[in-house]
Structure 1
């Protein structure tokens, strides 16, 4: 039996189906993984964010599985109907319009309800705009925060951005094309014109654009080309730089402490900078201050 359709024995002892959370391409249909195609072909039903939008994808891969809409405006009755089918032994797949479901897409309620009911939830990984953008951005990827869509109104957006201004992590946002210029202008005002940022637009599609630079330059770039205000957009902003009056974090202090046991300050600072990513001068000054 295909594992996608095999029933599962829940803690209650009853046989249930499996809910598959299936990632789909964000533009290029060649990015569809074989496991996703097999799963969508074998389940009893597909819950799609927009069945009309998904029809092209399903047709392209000869997937004839029935679809029902499941989106932000679906009521509890639709969730209950899907749960009933799962507990009755049918396996279902959840897809969004593009990319990985639940990443700024509907589906959270169904996944949570399924898990609470003891129904297995299996991810089928694939495309995701935020990770694709981060991988090609050149910004630090060891720590990042996905913030979703900023508020639509200027005052609310600036207040929201102000709360993020000191975050050291790379910040990732989705933004609507008709608001991207205003959002970048607010980012420049709040984060400062020199903060590094990247615009990733129409990823995997014909007019893919990945443009980086200081926020002031990025604002000028988008303002000067109306084509950059179209399509699917990811904005990435470098984390806030360390302030000169701040001490080292615990990990940097630990690394410096170990290196200073065997190395001169200058060499220890240079090596610790490579290990921790902290500026060499800050590490050197910290070591001097400890004496």
Structure 2
């Protein structure tokens, strides 16, 4: 390679399932650097052995990241070259290494990112929900309340939303999506991307949960959830169906409550509805 490796940190993506997805450039870097900083040495060794690469590895995971970052910075200052790799995919995305990169910038050490596999982008490209904009949220919170609060805050997000989830929580998370976002929102689940049992399936949230429950193998492995963005109503005109709902509710609720519930049922602007019923209160019993 016609590159100068003095005092450089390489961010090297590795396959997320299929070992053939690694690039020639990534293999060349892993051969030539002085040190490979791996999230899990044993896991990375499988990759290296497959391609007959022998090199010096050290562990850098979420538990020792601070200590190892300080050590690696010293090595980089000496002119060493280092490759940062995670267990799978592009490093830093939900993986350790960000602290090391920040320190490199602080000490003017060059950081060279290599392109490569990423489960979120790979799944999005095959989802049918590809747009110029999307929202990546990483792993959903493991605690139910935190997960529900996050989902509720994203209910009006117009961009497709990408999450990672585990097989242990996918059914609970799907139920929370139904309750906090919309049972009829279109969702794609991409499972085991690039691996033997890869599957990509899309349906409304309520239908998707039913589909998952029918067969346990449908939610085994590593999972990417892609939620279609919120679609604003094209027609914001007050119609008879909205008014009928309001007048039914008005027989049992206060004006304010009737307006609030009606606006939620029909996803209609509550202020517009309130102004209408006030202006026309003499036409019906308001």
Pick the TM interval, shorter chain. 0.7 to 0.9
Equivalent position of 2:134 in the other structure: 144
Shift of 1:99: 0.3
CA distance in 2, matches of 1:123, 1:6: 13
1:185 aligns with 2:184: no
| Unpaired segments ≥5 residues, structure 1 | 8-16, 248-291
Q: What CA deviation, in whole Å up to 9, does each residue of 1:136-190 have, x standing for no partner?
A: 0001321101001111122221111000111101000001111011111111111
CA distance in 1, matches of 2:21, 2:76: 28
Spell out the pairing of 1:1-291 with structure 2 (5 A cutoff). Answer: 2-3=2-3, 5-7=4-6, 17-244=7-234
CA contact (8 A) 1:145 1:171 kept: yes
Q: Secondary structure at the match of 2:161?
A: strand
| Unpaired segments ≥5 residues, structure 2 | 238-286
Shift of 1:245: 7.0
Shift of 1:219: 0.5
Cα 1:48–1:75, aligned 2, differ >3 Å: closer, same or farther? Answer: closer
Q: Secondary structure at the match of 1:210?
A: strand
CA contact (8 A) 1:44 1:66 kept: yes
Q: What CA deviation, in whole Å up to 9, does each residue of 1:39-88 have, x standing for no partner?
A: 00000000000111111101011111111111111152211110000010
TM-score, normalised with respect to structure 2:
0.80
CA distance in 2, matches of 1:93, 1:80: 15
Shift of 1:242: 0.8
CA distance in 2, matches of 1:2, 1:55: 26
CA distance in 2, matches of 1:107, 1:163: 29
- Large movers: runs of 4+ above 3 Å: 243-247
CA distance in 2, matches of 1:95, 1:246: 50
Q: In terms of Rg, which structure is larger?
A: 2
Shift of 1:2: 4.6
Q: Secondary structure at the match of 2:25?
A: helix
Shift of 1:244: 4.8
Q: What CA deviation, in whole Å up to 9, does each residue of 1:226-259 have, x standing for no partner?
A: 0122111100000011135779xxxxxxxxxxxx
CA distance in 2, matches of 1:234, 1:182: 15
Equivalent position of 2:275 in the other structure: none
CA distance in 1, matches of 2:153, 2:233: 17
What is the Cα-based RMSD across aligned positions, in Å? 1.5
Equivalent position of 2:243 in the other structure: none
CA distance in 1, matches of 2:126, 2:5: 39
CA contact (8 A) 1:134 1:141 kept: no
Count of residues in correspondence between the two structures: 237
Q: Secondary structure at the match of 2:188?
A: strand
